[in-house]
Amino acid sequence: MLASLQKLGRALMLPIAVLPVAGMLLRLGQPDVWTWHPLNQILSEHGYFVTQIVPFIGASGEAIFTNLGLLFAIGVAVGFAKENHGAAGLAGLVCFLIATKGAGVLLQVPPSELAGLSDKAKGLAEAAWRAGAIARFGVPAGITSGVIAGWLYNRFYDIKLPDYLAFFGGRRFVPIVAGFAGLFLALALGLALPALSKGMDQLSAAVLHAGSLGLFLYGVLNRLLIVTGLHHILNNLAWFILGDFHGKTGDLNRFFAGDPSAGGFMSGFFPVMMFGLPAACLAMYHAAPKDRRKGVGGMLSSMALTSFLTGVTEPIEFTFMFLAPVLYGVHVVLTGLAMVIMDLLNVKLGFSFSAGLFDYLLNFKKATNPLLLIPVGLVYFAVYYGVFRVCISAFKLQTPGREPEGEAATLAAPVAAGGRADGFIAALGGPANLKVVDACTTRLRLEVVDNGLVNAGALKDLGARGLIKPSATTVQVVLGPIADQVAGEIRARLTELGDALAPAAKAAAPAAPAPIQGAPADPAQVSGLVQMLGGAGNLKTVEARASRVLVTVADPSVIDEAAGAGVGLRGVARTEAGTVHLVLGPNAASTAEALRRLLPQGG
């Protein structure tokens, strides 16, 4: 359950990444942006720019916000799919279009909406009412369509059909079956929409009327959930679903639509991200011994500037999240209080990406009481600096620059782009340990065979700011904004290694041709594996996992990994618990069954 939610949180970041350009275009397309001195005087002489070009830019941005459901359907599907394949995005689009159009037909238009209208006007009014009712649920419908399409892709991307239908097999089958899934979603959405609409209204009213308490809890939960990556789900609820202003739902959408009450779920982040956390970086710099400040100054200033300009804070937070949980708890509470303070001062700020200087300046004229951020921010700067400086000294926290002498080398600059993939692969347990490599805004999100093989120290040497292990087979590595680029480099390198490894394995074992799917285990390979593992008497348990065989042995010291290449192994990985992962390929299941028969007393 947790792994699925984390995967959803990661998938949501792909469509959300489009919002900065949409927000920028939307704001640059508003006349108030261009009516400040001296631009006002210059542009007043060029009426064409104000009357034609500016609305053109605004309409371009509005196109994104109007079709957010469509973007989420495609983006979430691609994020969920293996290899992030585009066929899943097409399936998500098909599912979403069928679901929303089909659900609209099932809706019953209230008679009051058509009273006094001509027949022609009634048709237009019905279409407009249905479109508006569906638009309220555009984002939830898009997310649901994306999840369904992503799951269907992972389930059917390699499906085999009879020869006369072979053209529709494999990935081409996914959009087809997604269309049928869209029919069921349309039926459910169309029949349940009145109840869903009422429930959304009640939820929105409850949250919005909760006032300071609701905002405080939102701020606290937002920072607490960042550990698992589930804060993205919470943010989507607040920013895209809660509240309604002329058909625009969510705090973010309502803010850009001109709702004067919107911005409560965004304003409180600005004092923390622009002032508080940069002050924490300054405190950590001053707390470091003078002879080490030069070594950590570049890293801390980079993280502080990133937070101030863009609102990306995870690299800072993970420097003290696990090192000083109490200090992180103070940060969590201060974030909740910032939400309350900004609301009490009637400060309404908005963003299209995050609470940084860029968004603050871009949306300044659309905000309410934006200048009050400065005094609040300065207070937060002082509070964060004081709390961090005192806690670091009082509790002797090993913040950057204060580690024992032997660990100082881990503060070296991150490996340059282009040569870091091999380092990350090795630190993550080798190619055989990596099952899925993906990324969100600031962290690698990985599925591994065994997270015990991950080397935290080596990752820190490579520039990692934090390491999270949500489960035995998942790992998250906090890198900052370069995470997606690093993930791409790792995937590309794994592909290269896989292409290079197959010919080598064949050359090393010419007598053992590559097994084909469904073929029985190769007796020669099974015999070689038994010898490599120290004999049949050393085997305790055998289990097949997709393309791998997991073997638990009595004495790991007698394993001869070098012999693995001679029996056609694609990779070997060990755990401290005495389990050996043998990467075999399609014949893993049959080989596991053959090894199982050799277990002492039948295993």
What letter represents residue 551's amino acid?
V
Instruction: Identify whether the C-beta of residue 354 lies closer than 8 Å to the C-beta of residue 312.
Output: yes
Angle between helices 138-156 and 86-106 (to 10 degrees): 130
User: Residue 548, SS3?
Assistant: strand
Contact indicator for 63, 136 with CB cutoff of 8 Å: no
Degrees (nearest 5) of the Cα angle 183, 186, 187?
Answer: 90
DSSP calls for 355-421? SSHHHHHHTGGGSBSGGGHHHHHHHHHHHHHHHHHHHHHHTT---TT-S-GGGGGGGSPPPPTTS-H
In contact, 255 and 355? CB cutoff 8 Å: no
Q: Which helix (H) or strand (E) holds 486?
A: helix 483-508
Catalytic residue among 95, 281, 391, 440: 440
Strand partners, 248: 245
Residue 88 C-alpha from the chain's centroid: 17
- Alpha carbon distance 108, 134 (integer Å): 12
Burial 88-105 (b: 16+ CB within 10 A, else e): bbbbbbbbbbbbbebbbe
For residue 351, give every residue at least 6 positions away whose Cβ sits within 8 Å of its Cβ, in sequence order, or none.
Answer: 23, 252, 266, 269, 311, 359, 360, 363
CA pseudo-torsion sign 535, 540, 542, 548 = negative
Distance of alpha carbon 71 from alpha carbon 218, whole angstroms: 25
Kindly provide the residue ranges of all beta strands, DSSP E only, lying in 239-302, ordered along the sequence.
Answer: 244-245, 248-249
Is 391 annotated in the active site?
no
- Tally of CA atoms within 13 A in the half-sphere of 450 that contains its CB: 19
> Can you state the angle between helices 119-135 and 173-209, rounded to 10 degrees?
80
Pairing relation of β-strands 443-448 and 466-471?
unpaired
Catalytic amino acids?
440
